[in-house]
Structure 1
Amino acid sequence: MSYKNFPMVSKVIFGRGSFNQLGEILSPNRLNMNAPFIYIVDDVFKSYPWLTSRIPLAYDDRIIYESANEEPKTSQVDKLVEDIILGCKERPSGIIGIGGGSMLDLAKAVSIMLTNDGETKDYQGWDIVKNKGIYHVGIPTISGTGAEVSRTTVLTGPSKKLGINSDYTPFDQVILDPELTKNVPKDQWFYTGMDCFIHCVESLNGTYLNAFSKSYGDMAYEQCKAIFLEDNLTQEETQDQLMMASWHGGMSIVYSQVGVAHAMSYGLSYVLGTKHGIGNCIVFDHLEEFYPKDVKLFKAMKSKHDIELPTGICADLSDKDLDTMISIALSLEPLWENAIGKNWKKSITPKKLKELYLKM
C-alpha cells in the first residue's frame, strides 16, 4: 500500500502579540534590497491602523489591498502576479497573506504562480504544480477556514471552482496571533467557525478516516462544541481556542478529505458567488440524512447565537444554473468517495442533488 507523504507548514508561531515578531521572522529571508516582501492584505484593514501600522515595511516592500467580498478567482491571481512582476525590480523575497481564508489562498496561489508558467486556471486540480513557489507566510485574522495549514488554495476559475492542491501550496511560515481576530463581526465569526466544525464532521464521518486525521479532528470537534455551545470561556479564551480548532480541523482534512457540504457549497459558490463559510452553513443545514447527530448540534449552535441563514437561494435558478451547480458538485469525486464510499455514484445522482439544492 502507498501512503500519502504530505508536507507540513515548516514553521509556526502562536501567541497574543506574536504579529510583532514579523519583522525579525522575515529579515533572514530577504534576498536583497531589490527583492521586496509583498503583503496581500484584506482591504477591511485599511481602516484598522492598529494592524497596518505594525507591518514592517522596508526598501521596496509594498502592501496590496484586496477585497474579500467575493471568493478568490484564478483571473485575480493572474492580475496580481502580473502587477507584482511589473512593479518589482527582481522576483520578490516573499508573499505574506494577512486576512481570512481568501487572502491566505491568494497568497499561496501568487507564490506558486510567480515560479510556474501559464495561467492559474491550468493548475486547478491535484498535483499539477511543477515548481516550488516563492517563500510565503500566512497570518490569519479570522479563525476556522484551515487555509493557514492546508495544501490547497481554493479558487473559482472560468469553468470550475477547484483548488490548487499540491505539495508546494502550504505556507513556509504561519503566525497565529489570536489578538488579530478581535474585530470579526459576529455572523462572520459564526460562519467561519462552522467551516471548522464541518471540516471535523466530514473528516470524522468519512471513509478516508484514519488515526492521524481522527486525533486532530476529535480535538477540534470538542473545541468547537465548547466554543459554540458552552458559556464558560472568556472572550480571549474563545479567540485562542478557535484559532487552535481551525489549525487542528485543517490538519484533520490534510490526511483525509471533506465531504457532502463542501462538495455542494462549491456549486453554490460558482453559480451564486456564495462565500465559502456561509455556503457550507446553508448546505449543512439540510444534511440530516448524511450527518444526523451533527446537523442537530449545528442547529443548536445556530439557535444559541441567533443566526438566521438565507433561505430560498436556489428557488429561482434556471435549469441550466442548477445543472452547472450539480456538475461542479459531482466533479469533486474524492469528496464524495470520502463521504459515501467507492460506490457513491449509485446514491448521489443529479436528481438527488437537485432535490437538495431546491431545499436551500
Structure 2
Amino acid sequence: MSFKNYPMVSRVIFGRGSFNQLSDVLQPKRLNTKAPFVYFVDDVFKGNAWLTSRIPLSYDDEICYISADEEPKTSQVDELVEQIILKYKEKPSGIIGIGGGTILDLAKAVSIMLTNPGEAKDYQGWDLVVNPAIYHVGIPTISGTGAEVSRTTVLTGPDKKLGINSDHTPFDQVILDPELTKDVPKAQWFFTGMDCYIHCVESLTGTYLNAFSQSYGEKAFELCKEIFLEDGLSENDSQDKLMMASWHGGMSIAYSQVGVAHAMSYGLSYLLGTKHGIGNCIVFNQLEEFYPDGVALFKTMMKKHDIQLPQGICKDLTDTELNIMIDVSIGLEPLWENALGKNWKKTITRQKLYNLYKKM
C-alpha cells in the first residue's frame, strides 16, 4: 500500500508581536526591485494603522484590500491574477495573505494561478496543479479555519464549491501572532472557533483516522473544550490557545478528512452564500444522528456563550434549489467516505439530504 506524502508549511513563527518580523522574513525572498510583494489584506483593517503601518512596503509593493463578506470564488481568483499580470512587468516576489480563511485561501489560489495556465475552476479537485506556486505567506487574523496550514483553498466555482487540493497549495511561511485576533467580534470568534471544533469531531470519528491525524485532532479538541467551556482563561491565553487549536485541527484533517457537516455546509455556501463557519454550525446543529456526543457538546458551548443560530434558512427553498445543494454536497465523495465508510451511499440518499436541509 502507498502512504500519503503530504507537504507541510515549511516555516512558521509563533508569538505575540511576531508580525513585526515580517520585514526580516521577506527581505531574502525578494527576487529584484521590480518584483513586488503583493499583500492581500482583509478590508476590515483599512484605516487600522495599528496593523497596516507595520506592513513593510518598499519598491513597487502593494496592499490590495479585499472584502471577506463573501466566500472566495474562482472568478475572483482569475480577476486578481489578471490584475497582477497586467500591472507588473515581472511575477511578484510573493503573495502575502493577512486575514481570515477567505483571504488566506485567495492568497494560496492566486499564488498557484500565477504559475499555472488556464482558470482557477480548472484546478478544483485533487492534485491537478502541475507547477509550484510562487512564494506565499499566510498571516491569520482570526483562528479556527485551519486555512493557514491546509493543502486546500476552498473556492466556489461556476458549478461547484471545491478546493484546489494540492501539494503546491500550503504556505511557504506562516506567521502566527495571536495579538492580531484581538478585535474579532464575539459571534465571529465563536463560529470560526467552531469550524476548528467540527474539524476535530469529523476527523476523530472518521474512517480515515490514523495515529498521525488523531494526535493533532485530540490536542485541538482538548484546547477547544478548554477555550469554549472552562472559566477563568485570560483573553491572551484564550487567543494563544485558539490559534494553536486552529493549527492542530488543520493538521488533523490534512492527514485524514472532514465529514458530514462540511459536505453539507458546502451546499449552503454554494447556493445561499452562507459563510463557512456559520454554515458548519447550522448544519452540525442537526447532525445528532452522525455525531451524537459532538453535537451535544456543541449545544452546551452555544448555550454558555449565548449564541443564536439563524433559523429556517432552507424552509422557503424550492425543490430545484434544494437539489442544487444536494448535488454539491453529494459530489464530495472523500468527505462522505471518511464519515461513513466505503458504503456511504447506502446511508446517504438524496431524500436523506433533502430532509436534513429542510430542518435548517
- Paired position in structure 2 for 1:167: 167
Q: Deviations over 1:173-224 (max 9, x none)?
A: 0000000000000000000000000000000000000000000000000000
Give secondary structure in 2 for the equivalent of 1:98: strand
Task: State the distance in 1 between where 2:168 and 2:63 align.
Answer: 23
Task: State the distance in 2 between where 1:37 and 1:13 align.
Answer: 19
Q: Deviations over 1:290-321 (max 9, x none)?
A: 00011000000000001000010000011111
- Paired position in structure 2 for 1:101: 101
Note the C-alpha offset of 1:88. 1.0
Paired residue type of 2:36: P
- Paired position in structure 2 for 1:45: 45
Task: State the distance in 1 between where 2:89 and 2:20 align.
Answer: 28
- Paired position in structure 2 for 1:281: 281
Task: State the distance in 1 between where 2:178 and 2:170 align.
Answer: 20
Alignment size in residue pairs? 360
Paired residue type of 2:339: A
Note the C-alpha offset of 1:87. 1.1
Give secondary structure in 1 for the equivalent of 2:146: coil
- Paired position in structure 2 for 1:223: 223
Task: State the distance in 2 between where 1:91 and 1:117 align.
Answer: 14
Task: State the distance in 2 between where 1:278 and 1:251 align.
Answer: 21
Give secondary structure in 2 for the equivalent of 1:167: coil
Q: Which region of structure 1 is more displaced relative to structure 2, 260-269 or 79-88?
A: 79-88
Task: State the distance in 2 between where 1:87 and 1:62 align.
Answer: 11
Task: State the distance in 2 between where 1:232 and 1:263 align.
Answer: 35
- Paired position in structure 2 for 1:329: 329
Paired residue type of 2:84: I
Alignment of 1:249-268 (within 5 A): 249-268=249-268
Structure 1 position 115 matched with structure 2 position 118: no
Q: Deviations over 1:207-244 (max 9, x none)?
A: 00000000000000000000000012100000000000
Task: State the distance in 1 between where 2:306 and 2:232 align.
Answer: 19
- Paired position in structure 2 for 1:89: 89
Give secondary structure in 1 for the equivalent of 2:315: coil
- Paired position in structure 1 for 2:36: 36
Note the C-alpha offset of 1:48. 1.5
TM-score, normalised by the number of residues in structure 2: 1.00
Note the C-alpha offset of 1:49. 1.1
Task: State the distance in 2 between where 1:90 and 1:255 align.
Answer: 36
- Paired position in structure 2 for 1:349: 349
Q: Deviations over 1:132-182 (max 9, x none)?
A: 000000000000000000000000000000000000000000000000000
Task: State the distance in 2 between where 1:116 and 1:42 align.
Answer: 25
Task: State the distance in 1 between where 2:70 and 2:47 align.
Answer: 19
Alignment of 1:65-76 (within 5 A): 65-76=65-76
Give secondary structure in 2 for the equivalent of 1:96: strand
Q: Percent identity?
A: 77
Give secondary structure in 2 for the equivalent of 1:47: coil
- Paired position in structure 1 for 2:304: 304
Task: State the distance in 1 between where 2:214 and 2:112 align.
Answer: 30
Task: State the distance in 2 between where 1:231 and 1:87 align.
Answer: 51
Paired residue type of 1:301: M
Structure 1 position 20 matched with structure 2 position 20: yes
Give secondary structure in 2 for the equivalent of 1:267: helix
Give secondary structure in 1 for the equivalent of 2:46: helix
Q: Deviations over 1:4-23 (max 9, x none)?
A: 00000000000000000000
Note the C-alpha offset of 1:89. 2.0
- Paired position in structure 1 for 2:198: 198
Superposition CA RMSD, Å: 0.4
Note the C-alpha offset of 1:47. 3.0
TM-score, normalised by the number of residues in structure 1: 1.00
- Paired position in structure 2 for 1:134: 134
Paired residue type of 1:23: S
Paired residue type of 2:291: Y
Q: Which segments of 5 or more consecutive residues in structure 2 lack a partner in the other structure?
A: none
- Paired position in structure 1 for 2:187: 187
Alignment of 1:55-74 (within 5 A): 55-74=55-74
Q: Which segments of 5 or more consecutive residues in structure 1 lack a partner in the other structure?
A: none
Give secondary structure in 1 for the equivalent of 2:153: strand
Task: State the distance in 2 between where 1:47 and 1:224 align.
Answer: 32
Task: State the distance in 2 between where 1:152 and 1:159 align.
Answer: 18
Paired residue type of 2:4: K
Task: State the distance in 1 between where 2:216 and 2:258 align.
Answer: 14
Give secondary structure in 2 for the equivalent of 1:189: helix
Task: State the distance in 2 between where 1:259 and 1:63 align.
Answer: 36
Task: State the distance in 2 between where 1:229 and 1:35 align.
Answer: 48
Runs of 4+ that moved beyond 2 A: none
